[in-house]
Amino acid sequence: MKSFRAAADRIVRQESSSPTDVLRLLGSAVEPARTIASEHDEWDVRLAALAAIGEYDALAVVASKPLPLTHAWNISDPRALQHAVAEAIGEVTRRGMAAQLHAPVVLGDGRACSEIMVAPLTTLEGVDGVLVALRVGRGFSATDAVTASRVGTILSLELGRSGAAVQDADTVRQSLALFELARIGLGRQELGERLLVMVEVIALLLGHDVTQLWLLRGGGSLRLRATHPRQSLVLEIARPRDHVVLARALDGEAVRGNDPSLRAWIRRTTRELIIAPLRGDDGVSGLLALGRFSERYRDDDLKTATQCADFFAEVVAADALARHGRAGAAREDAERDDAEDTLTGS
DSSP line for 264-323: GTS-TT--EEEEEEEEETTEEEEEEEEEESSSPP-HHHHHHHHHHHHHHHHHHHHHHHHH
Q: Does domain 186-332 have CATH number 3.40.50.460?
A: no
**What is the C-alpha to C-alpha distance for residues 71 and 68, in angstroms, rounded to an integer?**
10
* CATH number for region 37-166: 3.30.450.40
**What is the C-alpha to C-alpha distance for residues 124 and 63, in angstroms, rounded to an integer?**
13
pLDDT, mean over the chain: 82
Give the count of beta carbons closer than 10 Å to the beta carbon of residue 252.
10
136 contact partners, CB below 8 Å, separation of at least 6: 57, 107, 111, 112, 113, 115
- Can you tell me the mean pLDDT for 177-191? 89
pLDDT at 201: 94
133 contact partners, CB below 8 Å, separation of at least 6: 51, 54, 56, 58, 59, 116, 117, 119, 140, 144, 148
pLDDT, one tens digit per residue, over 31-52 is 677 787 788 888 899 999 999 9
pLDDT, one tens digit per residue, over 122-171 is 878 889 999 999 999 899 998 998 999 999 999 999 998 888 888 888 88
HSE, side-chain direction, 13 A CA sphere, residue 208? 32
186-332 has the same fold as 37-166: yes
Q: pTM, whole model, 2 decimals?
A: 0.64
pLDDT at 131: 94
Listed by start position, the domains of the chain span 37-166, 186-332
